Structure 1
């Protein structure tokens, strides 16, 4: 079985929280990460917090192997720091074609006024590394001796495992509307962040996919420049308790109410089969840490049910707190899957 998790808006939807929950609850044999170190995920489990950028958030399940797909990019420093902090050295697998970001890419990107000021880049060297990959001058994982014990042919391995009925969770990066092709260019990232883009970075065809879960937060946030419909000013966002700080950059996230029109477009672009909603407790305070749907306040239930009716895709997973297990899982009731 293969499930794909993708962000539905502009990133920051809480994919890390949902991925960590699925890692614990579903016990995937493999969790696969695409993307790069310009996207941060916060994982909270058993009173411990991790802020990671490149390893899959399902690392919290000690039996799950952690895979970096060919299209991923990382720096050696970030990779080894995360391997250490997650105590996962013996279960990390890296494709030989993973791109390696060096100080040169980071320096060049931070000196690029267009990217840093106009686009609002995170300055992690990812865009420059992608450009050098296209120019065939970027060094890859296979070029680094310190990575040789982690190297595998990831597409072959995963396809073989799927044919053995292994369970695989794919964790996409950023959000649909930061896609290089489907976002508001030039205020976009350096890759296609939709479900189809994720598959292409891994090397797995669509026939293997069972579920495409699009993650939406209960409100919309965006870091960097670009249009944000119905954007709230900082004072109003603070009054509503919607102020957030970005994991990677430390910048305040720009905020807007949930956007149904944008969500519908995201569902179409990703061929979503399920929806996960995070931070329901931010809109409905009495939802905090509720783990059973029947215990949600009536207004929260109505919001979920009205939204599901509008979007025409089942809302199967609901986040109600920061811990991975602060989650309501309705997959069994709605689609017959646990």
Structure 2
């Protein structure tokens, strides 16, 4: 059995797409297991950047099976647009499979998402307003529409009728919105989407497990990251799904014992988008340098990301929560010109060491980061391809990350291209 999983250890935007893309070359099957089109992966191939929102990163390779799993919420229009964009770039989506159990984002989800966010004032979450949360809410409330429902016109009509009536009432009476969704327009649009998506729809739960049992190499691709997990992240400033190893098991429809070689992707510094506590955030020139040098703007939204020093209190928490086997350190090259670098190795509160990671955000806001300062290497690492050739200070930096978290180094990335990847362990061979 040869499986591997890529998980974000921070607040997202760690460069998971690049790591998944690199590992996908060895894989037979690539599985996206949760999230929606609020999560973007940017993959650079031959200096061409591909922004993927729903399609698994393996789609850029030929002869790979690419699966959108049960735990993903799917906006059909976004997915079809993405397929068309891919084909315009000379790539094919013929290898795509879509779970018949996945839930469908409807137009009323987008309206509810925006209305809810606008109603919160200072309590806003920072949602992308793509309807992700309301779609997952319908799933939990057991009124959601699944892909298999979309494939059955009579079932779809009945479920759509109920939802349109209820959602328009909520929009009008709860949020005071003058906007409403039209049953017949949605029926027309989504019936068309259904026919275009039908060739891709299948029982992916069965197909993933069968592939594993047949000895194929299966790669599970995470979206978002650990600190955005609905249960374990910095709630309520989180996403609406479970971007952790356990969530991949549920979202892909496979038992946990099938999941091996779990790789935690760690950006060499810290970023996050939207609201919420960020203990190691830098609001000075160094923070601006990291943002501008790293082009830290959202793949989907274009929003500037908040930047700070690497927070190993966060990464260590993620290491335990995901039972990480390896670390993949990304964007090391962004630190190349700094004369010194800092790492947060833990927190104190009122002079006392904080154990674990605080659940209470008020407590987290009171935490003071404990920093270690290391010398910078002030050397261009982007052309280095062997670990031993990295500057000694750069090696010391990534090795310190491994020491504090207790997780082995697996990959060090020194740029966005596939070729700019230093591999210390072949995870599929372990």
TM-score by length of 2: 0.74
Residue-by-residue CA offset, 1:277-306 (whole Å, 9 max, x unaligned): 100101125111422212212211111122
State which structure, 1 or 2, has the greater radius of gyration over its C-alpha atoms.
2
Native 8 Å contact 1:219 1:258 kept in 2: yes
Q: Is it true that 1:325 corresponds to 2:324 in the alignment? A: no
Q: Is it true that 1:97 corresponds to 2:96 in the alignment? A: no
Shift of 1:211: 0.8
Native 8 Å contact 2:230 2:238 kept in 1: yes
Q: Is it true that 1:120 corresponds to 2:119 in the alignment? A: no
TM-score by length of 1: 0.94
Native 8 Å contact 1:115 1:121 kept in 2: no
Aligned to 2:215: 165
Q: Is it true that 1:38 corresponds to 2:88 in the alignment? A: no
Query: Counterparts of 1:165-244 in structure 2 under 5 Å?
Result: 165-233=215-283, 235-240=285-290, 241-242=293-294, 244=296
Structure 2 CA distance for aligned equivalents of residues 266 and 20 of structure 1: 22
Aligned to 2:324: 272
Native 8 Å contact 1:219 1:259 kept in 2: yes
Unaligned runs of 5+ in 2: 152-193, 338-379
Shift of 1:234: 5.3
Residue-by-residue CA offset, 1:59-103 (whole Å, 9 max, x unaligned): 222111110101111211211122233333311101101111122
Residue-by-residue CA offset, 1:223-277 (whole Å, 9 max, x unaligned): 0100001211153312344551011111100111011111111100000011101
Native 8 Å contact 1:44 1:50 kept in 2: yes
Aligned to 2:22: 21
Shift of 1:114: 4.9
Aligned to 2:397: 303
Structure 1 CA distance for aligned equivalents of residues 297 and 401 of structure 2: 26
Structure 1 CA distance for aligned equivalents of residues 266 and 396 of structure 2: 17
Structure 2 CA distance for aligned equivalents of residues 163 and 149 of structure 1: 25
Shift of 1:204: 0.5
Q: Is it true that 1:255 corresponds to 2:259 in the alignment? A: no
Structure 2 CA distance for aligned equivalents of residues 224 and 164 of structure 1: 42
Structure 2 CA distance for aligned equivalents of residues 85 and 336 of structure 1: 31
Structure 1 CA distance for aligned equivalents of residues 410 and 11 of structure 2: 21
Structure 2 CA distance for aligned equivalents of residues 288 and 272 of structure 1: 26
Residue-by-residue CA offset, 1:36-67 (whole Å, 9 max, x unaligned): 11111101011211111111112222111110
Structure 1 CA distance for aligned equivalents of residues 274 and 386 of structure 2: 36
Structure 2 CA distance for aligned equivalents of residues 157 and 239 of structure 1: 46
Equivalent position to 1:154, from 204, 219, 222: 204
- Aligned partner of residue 263 in structure 2, secondary structure: strand
Native 8 Å contact 2:4 2:428 kept in 1: no
- Aligned partner of residue 111 in structure 1, secondary structure: helix
Shift of 1:126: 0.2
Higher mean Cα deviation, 191-200 or 10-19? 191-200
